[in-house]
Amino acid sequence: TTCWNMNQHLLSGEKLRGKQLGRTVGTGPDEPEPQTEVEKFLGEGSFGKVAKCKKLGTDQVVAIKIIWGSGQMEINALEELSQINADDHNLVKFVESFKYKKYTCIAFEVLDQSLLDFMEKRDFHPLTVEEIRTIAWQLIVALKGLKSVNLVHCDIKLDNIMLVDQVSEPFRVKLIDFGLAEKIGHMRTGATMQNICYRAPEVILGLPLDQSVDLWTVGYILFVLYTGSFIHGWDADYNILRAMVKMQGMPEEKQSNKKGRLFVDLLKRMLMVDPSKRISPSEALQHPFFTMGRVQPTAGTQTTNPEEPPAVEVHLQPEAKEDINTPQRPAAITPLNPPPHPLTPTPTQSIRSSSINLASDCQVC
């Protein structure tokens, strides 16, 4: 209940000043404590609120996550992530953290809007395969970056994927909110994690956990972006698992083009119910869905689309040795004919006009 009362204590125009915590960018030990003015609140959740703020003296604009409590888990995760380049790995850029009254304040770069907000504004009208390809590449690179520092996000969802600036950099995305992130070695068998709608089957079944839970969720999100609908309801774990195993009545696409077929193949490999058979981030980045043609997907700049190569046989590449190097950012692909924004489907359009048959690949052991 505390977060609902935060407006009584934190108002627009209020100045936040407090003791610095953790790693602070651009602040030395002899410099005064940070002072930031709240311009407006951007959103709220169970953790607290997010405010757009201006750092006095520098006029730097930041987004500050205001948490009731210590926020130490997220600060620890951000310290780990400081080992890698946030921009290169499509992760939100951490600025600083400090205490204000009974709150912990964590400052980040300001981003545009969440994928959830973006999809809601367009009535969940599906994205094109090319647009999804651009987003998928970035999210898998983010997972590879997390794995390089032995972190698992544990709470990936549409709300926690942000568009950086949809006008100037179409479909450039970053992963945010590391408040529930865990070290891979600290994940407990049987632990409950992830939003129930995006929960991986091994979490539901109480099996051993690792980074595969994040890959499942990214695959699920790509499915939602592709179809505009969710695979199952989220009223109970049993019903979700039952829907996963049966995989009946799912939106299907009888793809006549190679790019669509490759996407469906990648999706099947990301949504394997058995985590030991699920594709890894390194393998996913080598999948023909990304490697076809002469360029790979990157958001934000204007280039021509890649030429279609001869038919590509779909197969898994051997898993590459994990390292902390960033996958080379390939030349950009402009999203193909993005629809007007916001977009509402016409009566003749149906977001359930297609289906992906995953049943043959989804068996519970």
- Residue 74: phi and psi, rounded to 5, are -70, -40
Dihedral angle at the C-alpha atoms of 178, 184, 189, 191, nearest 10 degrees?
Answer: -10
How many helices and strands, by DSSP H and E, does the chain display?
A: 9, 12
Beta bridge partners of 169: 165
Binding site annotation covers 101? no
CA gap 224, 114 in Å, rounded? 14
Angstrom distances, CA of residue 318 to CA of 149, 281, 311, 343: 22, 12, 21, 41
**Nearest by Cα to 71 from 24, 38, 22:** 22
Residue 155 bears catalytic tag? yes
Candidate list 117, 155, 159, 323, residue with the active-site label? 155
Q: How many residues does the chain have?
A: 365
Q: Is the dihedral of CA 346, 347, 348, 354 positive or negative?
A: positive
Show binding-site residues for ATP.
65
The residues annotated with a catalytic role in the active site are 155
Show binding-site residues.
65
